[in-house]
């Protein structure tokens, strides 16, 4: 009886052990594993408020190593990445190093060609602006371009409606468009809506009798007429008329944000949740504090432009409302994958849209998480 009991016990333990071994052997390889979700590691600091905008710093006690990746601005500035019009003259380097002519079709508003000739994969974020070519464009979707990839047809949106002529080579604009424009590219994926958001400032609907925005549609129209006849995004929002107001707004917001995040102990800023008036509207969260700080200056400017273009509502969003932007969504998942490189997914629930970009190499991680409340 005793022997039967011990035999059964040993058999049970072996069975559990076997299940454990089978479970380990059947787990996904690094190239296809789903990154562990870091929601539980994120905390919100006290809000940073200025006029009609509130920033909630997102901090984490852990931070991934993202040094393997190069940002688009870094890659363009160093020459590791070349962007040109589709069908432009010249040669391109293929995956195995061969020099091949470009036989693609003629130039297209919504497609460019990107070549990564560097030694690190390049991270692209939707809304990043590249200047030059026949028109200034913005990146249409988050993605990673691996080392040694063939010349990549790159989906983009035009943010310079009135020009279609030869210009300088594409260069780093060090600009990311403000949320209303970025939403139309990343979620709506509609060129006419992108143009409309560039000309209109904000696509958010205003409550009845809401105070007028500091940056009105008429002011944008006057700036286009006087300083940006091609409706270039950069020229509009960096003009003397508008740019000075944005600069002053950013300077004060940056000062307050830096003060609020200056005495962290054991935690690092990895992102931000943004509210306009009483509405929590946007968040950008990164895998590391290093990556966040690479993008912070141009993200902050984009949030400021949006704030100036929205009604000057003084209601303040609550910390509880902002915390909801750290929660995962439940909804239909749309997913795209380049095996061994990245996985992109979009989840929509009500008016919320979540876009996540996972790197699959050298270690699975969610490089960027964008959650927004759609305006249209």
Percent over 90 (pLDDT), the chain: 75
pLDDT band at 105, cuts 50/70/90? low
Q: What is the pLDDT of residue 101?
A: 39
pLDDT above 50 for 18 = no
Q: What is the pLDDT of residue 330?
A: 94
Mean pLDDT computed over 87-104: 47
Single out the residue of 227, 213, 352 nearest to residue 276, CA to CA. 213
Q: Of the given ranges (41-55, 114-128, 165-179), which has the lowest mean pLDDT? A: 165-179
pLDDT band at 313, cuts 50/70/90? confident
Q: What is the pLDDT of residue 166?
A: 75
Q: What is the pLDDT of residue 10?
A: 38
Q: Which residues pair with 42 in a beta bridge?
A: 60
Residue 340 or 90, more confident: 340
Contacts 24+ apart (CB under 8 A), 282-286: 282/179, 282/306, 282/371, 282/372, 282/373, 283/58, 283/325, 283/326, 283/369, 283/370, 283/371, 283/372, 284/368, 284/369, 284/370, 285/42, 285/58, 285/368, 285/369, 286/66, 286/367, 286/368, 286/369
Q: How far apart are CA 299 and CA 37, in angstroms?
A: 23
Q: Of the given ranges (3-17, 24-38, 147-161, 343-357), which has the lowest mean pLDDT? A: 24-38
Q: What is the pLDDT of residue 88?
A: 62
Mean pLDDT computed over 125-146: 96
Q: How far apart are CA 237 and CA 230, in angstroms?
A: 13
Mean pLDDT computed over 301-330: 94
Q: What is the pLDDT of residue 356?
A: 98
Mean pLDDT computed over 263-285: 96
Q: How far is CA 147 from CA 27, 69, 80, 94, 160, in A?
A: 27, 10, 10, 11, 30
Strand 143-145 versus strand 152-158 pairing type? unpaired
Q: What is the pLDDT of residue 141?
A: 96
Q: What is the pLDDT of residue 172?
A: 85
pLDDT above 90 for 3 = no
Residue 271 or 36, more confident: 271
Single out the residue of 120, 133, 129 nearest to residue 165, CA to CA. 133
Percent over 70 (pLDDT), the chain: 84
pLDDT above 90 for 42 = yes
């Amino acid at each position: 009886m005793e022997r039967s009991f011990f035999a059964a016990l040993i058999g049970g333990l072996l069975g559990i052990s076997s299940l454990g071994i089978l479970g380990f052997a059947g787990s996904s390889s690094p190239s296809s594993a789903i990154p562990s979700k870091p929601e539980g590691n994120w905390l919100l600091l006290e809000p940073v408020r200025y006029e009609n905008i509130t920033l909630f710093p997102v901090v984490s006690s852990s931070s991934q190593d993202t040094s393997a990746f190069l940002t688009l601005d870094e890659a363009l500035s160093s020459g590791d990445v070349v962007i040109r019009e589709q069908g432009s003259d010249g040669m391109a380097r293929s995956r195995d190093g061969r020099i091949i002519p470009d036989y693609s079709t003629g130039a297209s508003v919504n497609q460019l060609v990107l070549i990564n000739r560097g030694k690190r994969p390049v991270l692209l974020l939707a809304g990043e602006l590249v200047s030059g070519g026949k028109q200034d464009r913005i990146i249409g979707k988050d993605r990673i371009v691996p080392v040694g990839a063939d010349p990549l047809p790159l989906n983009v949106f035009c943010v310079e409606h009135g020009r279609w002529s030869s210009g300088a080579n594409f260069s780093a604009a060090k600009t990311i468009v403000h949320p209303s424009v970025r939403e139309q590219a990343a979620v709506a994926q509609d060129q006419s809506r992108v143009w409309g958001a560039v000309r209109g400032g904000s696509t958010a609907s205003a409550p009845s009798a809401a105070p007028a925005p500091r940056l009105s549609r008429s002011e944008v129209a006057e700036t286009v007429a006087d300083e940006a006849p091609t409706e270039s995004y950069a020229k509009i929002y960096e003009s003397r008329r508008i740019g000075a107001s944005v600069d002053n707004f950013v300077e004060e917001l940056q000062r307050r944000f830096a003060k609020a995040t200056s005495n962290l102990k054991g935690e690092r800023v990895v992102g931000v949740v943004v509210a306009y008036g009483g509405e929590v509207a946007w968040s950008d969260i990164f895998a590391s504090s290093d990556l966040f700080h690479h993008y912070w200056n141009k993200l902050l400017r984009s949030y400021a432009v949006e704030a100036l273009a929205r009604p000057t509502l003084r209601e303040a969003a609550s910390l509880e409302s902002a915390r909801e932007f750290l929660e995962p969504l439940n909804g239909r998942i749309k997913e795209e994958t380049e095996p061994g490189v990245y996985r992109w997914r979009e989840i929509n629930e009500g008016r919320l849209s979540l876009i996540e970009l996972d790197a699959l190499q050298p270690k699975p991680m969610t490089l960027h998480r964008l959650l927004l409340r759609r305006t249209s």
